Amino acid sequence: MAGPRRDTRGIIDAPELFAQVRFRRREPAAALRPYLEHYWLIDWDLTRPYVSHLVPHPSVNVVFQHFAEQEPFGEVAGIGLELFTQKLEGRGLVRGVQFRPGGFRPFAPQWPVSRWTGQRLPVAEALPTTEAEIATILAPAGPGAGTGPGAGTGADDAAVAALDTYLLGVADLGEPGGPAEPDPQVALAMRLADRIRTDRTVRRVASLAETEGISARSLQRLFATYVGVGPKWVILRYRIHEALERAESSEGAEVDWAELAAELGYSDQAHLVRDFTATVGVPPTAYAR
């Protein structure tokens, strides 16, 4: 990879979010990159509350947070099935880990990833974690630290190093030819999820299973165990991300939603409108406005 993703897919009104918080992505250690999308770091110091909205990716996140007047804490956030809304106020910071779809399994191999879907639980319920490790990941910055001009680079470097150390200590990644081989199903699940994301011709679970030479039932089991949701759900979620991105980039021009529906594999515009509205909360035309 050339570095962390730069797109804003899934973020509702990304320019407004970036005007309210300091948001950046950082790359993990080389051994972790096959399994992680990136680290994401946010700090804020707000004079009035701000509510952010996100259409979640089919990814597990591990999130370490420190809000003003609260103790630091960590969460494992399974794949969000609905629009995620977070109210930010005062001062705070977040140090997050976004795993690739399928990439969380080696870090908690004793459970199917579907166990975490739709859940936000203390991180210690999924990964061995101590209060000292949480404090180290969130140090040396406190709530609101690093928000001044020129501040924060050293704190970011320290947070990334602490996250690398923590995750490398937790993971059972194995080594090819070593005493503990990597789980080949992890690589397969990640490859198929990435194919759904990048290959627009993947529109149906049955056709994906056929081209991969496996049964649809086996594909369903693979995704439930290693990704956390079914392949049909992943296809739908990436379609909605693309529709959001098209609406965001329209810059006031009228989007041809019927044409976009056909591009994304919908049988008609009405199906796209229904899925978009159910996920985002408003019809695509209203969102574009």
Instruction: Delimit the domains of the chain by residue range.
Output: 14-170, 184-288
pTM of the model: 0.89
DSSP code of residue 255: P
What's the pLDDT tens digit per position in 191-247?
999 999 999 889 899 999 999 999 999 999 999 999 999 999 999 999 999 888 888
- The CA distance from 116 to 110, in Å, is 12
Of 83, 82, 39, 42, nearest to 61 by C-alpha is: 39
Q: What single letter denotes the amino acid at residue 242?
A: E
103 pLDDT above the threshold of 70: yes
Residue 146 exposed, middle or buried by CB count within 10 Å (0-12, 13-18, 19+): buried
Q: Answer whether 257's CB lies under 8 Å from 269's CB.
A: yes
Max CA distance (Å), the chain: 58
What's the pLDDT tens digit per position in 22-31?
999 999 999 9
pLDDT score, position 9:
86
Of 6, 5, 130, 116, nearest to 61 by C-alpha is: 116
The end-to-end CA distance of the chain, in Å, is 35
Q: Which CATH number fits domain 184-288: 1.10.10.60, 3.40.50.720, 1.10.760.10, 3.40.50.1240?
A: 1.10.10.60
Q: What single letter denotes the amino acid at residue 262?
A: A
Q: Which residues, other chains included, contact 286 with Cβ-Cβ below 8 Å and sequence gap of 6+? A: none
Cα dist from 122 to 66, 118, 254, whole Å: 14, 14, 44
